[in-house]
Structure 1
């Protein structure tokens, strides 16, 4: 697989996504829900067959699929740390928050640019008396420095995204936040959802070896729903989340229960919940194999994404549309953006609807229209999408 083969029509990958009809549709929702490769269906069916054959004994096979997902996550992070799996990032975030001593350190630091699962939960905690400090996300170039400056001895945790979900801006210098947290005894949680599958994220090289990392496969990784994770830092071994399910006892069930103290499994399972649908892990494991077979590494996908963003930006700039209607941040190089092109609009929701009526799938967040390419789209498809945008803005 090489970049030239993906630029052509038909795109060299498109045939592998035939059930999502990616060659027939203009799906610029790659930052929100990428199409699944056809092999995902094999994983779905294998989950059914194992359940039909083994009934309740299916969990042995399911655990192997879960471990394959963990191995895939570790590879993406270039890290060998423990991985907790969850249906969504919110449940993992809640378990994390329940494991830190918020009574003794009742202060959480975050930004005003976090995704809704964190934004809403932290806002609700603030209503209950937890001090929540929201640092302005813009400008992204100085965000890490500004976050580090407000960490103090009362701070339980800092929660920040590696990539801002509204604008696709990469947040540089998170190692400075990690150092501030380390010196003050606070935890750092990095939301990597908009980074995974877009560019390499080697934790230790980035100075994030002590960080907790949240992420999932619903977006760029093409794993579908139910495939989220929490990477645990080495010092997490002694933490005991208050919000806990019985799967967090696995490995200890044979022991004599202690009536006075809840016990936890080792590793990532100490942050586990309870019974879940393992179909998601079958699907994810099969898709991760497919991505490895096709050479869809973070490094290669970064090259693809940068090309596609460059094409979209260039064709958009050529339209020379009124900035009062729609514009983009031309003052920042595309290398500082992740997986989508964010266009600030007078009526982002209206443009999204107008594009949908012309067969172009996008989405909007507040004042931003988000155009999310994916590796199975050809250059011609991206140009058609911008041509449709021109008619909507005429």
Structure 2
């Protein structure tokens, strides 16, 4: 089935009947950058997991591992890396912790990052700093120079640079990460790129972006509609030399014959960073949703075109409100192509406005001083217009 931008702009939206349980045609769900609706087939995936467990009992794991492989294939396609070694996890946090535990922080005590990272990095790095690890944070703004500024700070004391490809609060894309990767390679520094806010909405290609030697983490809770529990860590080729201290018994699967006597051995490939027994239901759900995307032609070029159309329409409708800049404004210093999949509006009343919008049936969210409108492919243009008109009623009311 071919899906087109025009078919998604119309009312009813061509995809909306497939999201009946989330009632996307009847609700203004502008939380797509955080939690997109799941297509109805996701429920069938969860039923599949129960059915396999009931019928196969402990033998279900071979069936579950096949779903995990389907998930890996989906992530590999989005990364433009068909042979990527991927460790899977329930959250990016557990995967990042394993990554951090593999670094030699005694020899290289410095971690370099920005002040615009998602909570997974923000909180964990802040706690490591309290424990004595040297954590250097550079301002995330301006995003256009962030990669170069990080590269200038990399030295032979730096164990790793940890940075997002799209900033989660402002939606700004961080360009020139390949140059940062080069600086890391020259000093033997690891580069971890958080691609969570890119995959499924912003083109991302490891070879094209010069990130073949980078670690990449992300997941499917946001733009991919896979729900919770579907995250990954992409290992660069040299990862085979690293030994995470935080390690689960699934990392014992495979050939461990190369481990020196008396040392803990590790499986090859992505399983080197594996955890332990997990709930495979999320992978069953993900497999169904990935197949749904494939069936409807929801591939990266179309998804990016839809996203740019929707965020541009929201931005244009916002500009037409002529709201007082002291109340609410947006970044006009860069084109929409320099942004990810949501419109970030800056306001000292961001949290208050998000609550007021929700009371009027428009679901958004806020992060600090940013009110975020996150569209999704199942929303029609009329719904976007209605959502922004509701905001207009709030910001132009005298206080």
User: Normalised by the shorter chain, which TM-score bucket?
Assistant: over 0.9
Question: In the aligned structure 2, how far is the partner of 1:50 from the partner of 1:365?
Answer: 40
For 2:158, the equivalent position in structure 1 comes to 155
Residue of structure 1 in register with 2:132 after alignment: 129
Q: How far apart are the structure 2 equivalents of 1:93 and 1:187?
A: 12
Cα distance change on mapping 1:44 and 1:122 into 2, 3 Å:
same
- Partners in 2 of 1:375 and 1:288 — Cα distance? 15
Which aligned segments of 4 or more residues in structure 1 are displaced greater than 2 angstroms?
Answer: 255-259
Query: What are the ranges of 5 or more consecutive residues in structure 2 without an aligned counterpart?
Result: none
Give the alignment partner of residue 164 of structure 1, picking from 167, 172, 176. Answer: 167
Distance 1:275 1:11, change over 3 A: same
Query: Residue 31 of structure 2: SS of its match in structure 1?
Result: coil
Q: CA deviation at 1:259?
A: 6.6
Q: Which residue of structure 2 lines up, in the alignment, with residue 268 of structure 1?
A: 270
Residue aligning to 2:293: 291
Superposed, 1:242-321 pairs within 5 Å as: 242-252=245-255, 260-321=262-323
Aligned residue for 1:235? 238
User: What is the CA-CA distance between 1:23 and the residue it aligns to?
Assistant: 0.2
- CA positional deviation for 1:57: 1.0
Task: Tell me whether 1:139 sits opposite 2:142 in the alignment.
Answer: yes
Pairwise mapping of residues 109-120 of structure 1 onto structure 2 (< 5 A)?
109-120=112-123
CA distance in 2, matches of 1:164, 1:323: 23
Residue 188 (1) aligns with residue 186 (2):
no
- Corresponding position: 1:21 with 2:5: no
1:358 matched residue in structure 2 = 360
Task: Quote the residue 2:375 is aligned against.
Answer: 373
Equivalent residue number for residue 330 of structure 2: 328
Q: Partners in 2 of 1:90 and 1:328 — Cα distance?
A: 30
The whole-number CA distance in structure 2 between the counterparts of 1:26 and 1:312 is 13
Q: Cα deviations across residues 70-100 of structure 1 (Å, max 9, x unaligned)?
A: 0110000010210000000000000000111
In structure 1, stretches of 5+ residues that fail to align are none
Structure 1 residue 250 displacement after superposition: 1.1
Scaled by the length of structure 1, the TM-score of the pair is: 0.98
Q: Distance in 2 between matches of 1:225 and 1:274?
A: 17
Distance 1:236 1:36 in 2: 34
For this pair of structures, how many residues does the alignment match? Answer: 393
- Deviations along 1:230-256, whole A, 9 cap, x unmatched? 000011112110000001111248x79
CA distance in 1, matches of 2:74, 2:267: 22
**Alpha-carbon deviation of 1:308?**
0.3
Match of 1:175 in 2: 178
Q: Indicate how the Cα distance of structure 1 residues 256 and 327 shifts in structure 2: closer, same or farther if over 3 A, else same.
A: closer
Deviations 1:149-192 (A, max 9, x none): 00000000000000000000000000111000000000000000
What residue is the counterpart of 1:95 in the other structure? 98
Taking the aligned partners of 1:225 and 1:270, their CA distance within structure 2 comes to 23
The Cα RMSD (Å) is 1.2
Alignment equivalent of 1:11, drawn from 13, 21, 30: 13
Q: TM-score, normalised by structure 2?
A: 0.97
Does residue 338 (structure 1) correspond to residue 355 (structure 2)? The answer is no
C-alpha distance in 2 between matches for 1:43 and 1:355: 33
Specify the SS of the correspondent of 2:202: coil
Structure 1 CA distance, aligned partners of 2:74 and 2:87?
13
Conservation of the 8 A alpha-carbon contact between 2:80 and 2:204: yes
Verify: 1:206 aligned to 2:209, yes or no.
Answer: yes
